[in-house]
Amino acid sequence: MTAESAAGLGVPWAMALLPDGTLIITERDTAEVKRLVDGRVEVIGVVEDALSSGGEGGLLGVAVPPDFSDVPRLYLYYTSPTDNRVVSMSYDGNGLGETAAVLTGIPRANIHNGGRIKFGPDGYLYIGTGDASNASLAQDPASLGGKILRVTADGAPAPGNPFDSAVYSLGHRNVQGLAWDSTGRLWASEFGPDRDDELNLIVPGGNYGWPLVTGAPGEERFLDARVVWPSTATSSPSGMAIVGDVAYIGGLRGERLWRVPLADGSAGEPASFFDGAYGRLRDTIAGEDGGLLIATNETGGSRILRVEMQ
């Protein structure tokens, strides 16, 4: 069953739920942070520094920290005039306030800005970045581009990181989705070039091959993707939720929802739903009721959909 929770949005990019069930939504092009309460959409803040980004840049990811109830603030990833960065902004129930820098200096470009951020089960912040149109950055452990990063709430490298830096894994082209299964394994969805979109099982220090390889070629220096979509026309996997050890991934170019069963670090055969019914699907998160919330990027007005998967 599919129901509409909100309509008339611009380009929603990411969603997150507050402890009280309030849905937070970021809009890429307007740089507005919105909330959905009782069917009403309200603007609670604007990230002015993200307004002139253009292309795939702008206001992107949002995350709610584990201690939100004690210290209410939101974490936001956006493209500034000079870089991609993560900040935290205080939240007083009415709107956003004071801004504090968390991590700056992530390479930016017109495309491949990454942008997904989520707090993991270990309490640390995970950040998916893109190669910022410079593929060589993905293999450079000194660069924050083309990586999955893992940091503390203040932006310091998290304890136990494999390179004594913020870098957790490397060799990524443009990470778009992050989610954990029931055993705490991290999975990431990623755009390929003109082929080989990927779903990857992420391990600390893992090298996923971009730009030297894509997909699952069996090259011993790199980790193969667990799912490969050979044609980007049916996929372009974006935001992802894992519910009951099943990954649900929104497809942008593919304009569909992908369902992938997960077990013991392996991924089963993908199946698609809603093919072309709602346009581009940008983000997918787990709802409070065990269903899904999906943000569309439709022409002429985007929506938040509430979906019950059988």
Distance CA 82, CA 130 (A): 15
Catalytic residues: 112
Beta-carbon contacts of residue 12 (< 8 Å; ≥ 6 apart): 25, 26, 27, 28, 282, 283, 295, 296, 297, 302, 304
Distance CA 98, CA 188 (A): 31
Beta-carbon contacts of residue 220 (< 8 Å; ≥ 6 apart): none
Distance CA 183, CA 176 (A): 21
Helix (H) or strand (E) holding 187: strand 186-190
Instruction: Tell me, rounded to whole angstroms, the distance of Cα 252 from its chain centroid.
Output: 13
